[in-house]
Amino acid sequence: MTSIALKSFVGLRQASLEKPHLTSQAKPSSIINPRKLRVIASKSAPKLTNRNLRVAVIGGGPAGGAAADTLAKGGVETYLIERKMDNCKPCGGAIPLCMVGEFDLPLDIIDRRVTRMKMISPSNVAVDIGQTLKPHEYIGMVRREVLDAYLRDRAKASGAEVINGLFLKMDVPRDGVSPYVLHYTGYDGKAGGVGEKRTLEVDAVIGADGANSRVAKGIGAGDYDYAIAFQERIKIPDDKMVYYENLAEMYVGDDVSPDFYGWVFPKSDHVAVGTGTVTHKGDIKKFQLATRNRAKDKILGGKIIRVEAHPIPEHPRPRRLLGRVALVGDAAGYVTKCSGEGIYFAAKSGRMCAEAIIEGSENGKRMVDEGDLRKYLEKWDKTYWPTYKVLDVLQKVFYRSNPAREAFVEMCADEYVQKMTFDSYLYKTVAPGSPLQDLKLAVNTIGSLVRANALRREMDKLSV
Partner 1 sequence: MAEQHLKSPLHIDKSKNAKDEVENGIELEHSAPRFTDERWKHGTWDLNMNSLSLAERTTIFSETFSIVPLILALKEARRRKFLELYPEASTNEEPVLFRTSIIPWWAWLSRSHIPEAELLNGFFMAYLVDALTGLDVVGQTGNFICKAGLLVTVIGVMLFRRTQDFENLKRLADEATFYDKQWQASWQDNKSAATGASKQTGKNS
Q: Of residues 245-304, which lie at the interface with partner 1 (CB under 8 A)?
A: 251, 253-255, 289-290, 292-304
C-beta neighbour count of 455 within 10 angstroms: 15
Per CB under 8 A, the list member of 322, 335, 353, 358 interacting with partner 1 is: 322
Stretch that binds partner 1, among 11-19, 140-148, 274-282, 416-424 (CB under 8 A): 11-19
Nearest residue (CB) to partner 1, 140 versus 333: 333
Q: By CB under 8 A, how many residues form the interface with partner 1?
A: 100
- For 44-72, give one letter per residue: b (16+ CB within 10 A) or e: ebeebeeebbbbbbbbbbbbbbbbbbbbb
Nearest residue (CB) to partner 1, 69 versus 209: 209
Contact between 27 and partner 1 per CB under 8 A: yes
Distance CA 31, CA 34 (A): 9
Closest approach of partner 1 to the CB of residue 189, in Å? 30
Residues near 409 by beta carbon (within 8 Å), at least 6 away in sequence: 119, 120, 121, 125, 127, 252
Footprint on residues 190-249 left by partner 1 (CB under 8 A): 216-224, 234, 243
Per CB under 8 A, the list member of 125, 181, 394, 441 interacting with partner 1 is: 125
Nearest residue (CB) to partner 1, 51 versus 303: 303
Looking at the chain, how many residues does it have?
464
Nearest residue (CB) to partner 1, 112 versus 233: 233
Residues near 125 by beta carbon (within 8 Å), at least 6 away in sequence: 406, 409, 410
Please give the full DSSP string across 53-86, using - where no structure is assigned: -EEEEE--SHHHHHHHHHHHHTT-EEEEEES-TT
Cα torsion 30, 205, 210, 269: sign: positive
Per CB under 8 A, the list member of 388, 399, 408, 422 interacting with partner 1 is: 388
Closest approach of partner 1 to the CB of residue 461, in Å? 7
Closest approach of partner 1 to the CB of residue 363, in Å? 26
Contact between 306 and partner 1 per CB under 8 A: no
Distance CA 309, CA 230 (A): 4
Stretch that binds partner 1, among 24-32, 141-149, 160-168, 338-346 (CB under 8 A): 24-32
Nearest residue (CB) to partner 1, 183 versus 365: 183
Contact between 320 and partner 1 per CB under 8 A: yes
Distance CA 369, CA 196 (A): 31
CA angle 306, 308, 314 (to 5 degrees): 155
Contact between 369 and partner 1 per CB under 8 A: no
Closest approach of partner 1 to the CB of residue 58, in Å? 15
Contact between 385 and partner 1 per CB under 8 A: yes
Footprint on residues 428-447 left by partner 1 (CB under 8 A): 447
* Region for residue 159 given its phi and psi (left: phi exceeds 0; alpha: psi -120 to 50; beta: otherwise): left
Nearest residue (CB) to partner 1, 103 versus 345: 345
Please give the full DSSP string across 307-318, using - where no structure is assigned: EEEEEEESS--S
Closest approach of partner 1 to the CB of residue 316, in Å? 6
**Under a CB-based contact definition with an 8 Å cutoff, are residues 202 and 177 in contact?**
no
Bridge partners for 227 per DSSP: 312
Nearest residue (CB) to partner 1, 28 versus 193: 28
Q: Are strands 161-171 and 180-186 parallel, antiparallel or unpaired?
A: antiparallel
Eight-class DSSP state of 118:
E
Footprint on residues 130-149 left by partner 1 (CB under 8 A): none
Stretch that binds partner 1, among 77-85, 103-111, 146-154, 388-396 (CB under 8 A): 388-396
Contact between 25 and partner 1 per CB under 8 A: yes
Per CB under 8 A, the list member of 17, 194, 431, 436 interacting with partner 1 is: 17
Footprint on residues 412-431 left by partner 1 (CB under 8 A): 413
DSSP helix/strand/coil, 463: coil
Alpha-helix runs per DSSP H in 368-434? 370-398, 402-412, 415-427
Nearest residue (CB) to partner 1, 114 versus 299: 299
Stretch that binds partner 1, among 53-61, 130-138, 319-327, 353-361 (CB under 8 A): 319-327
DSSP helix/strand/coil, 161: strand
Footprint on residues 147-176 left by partner 1 (CB under 8 A): 169, 172-174
Nearest residue (CB) to partner 1, 134 versus 174: 174
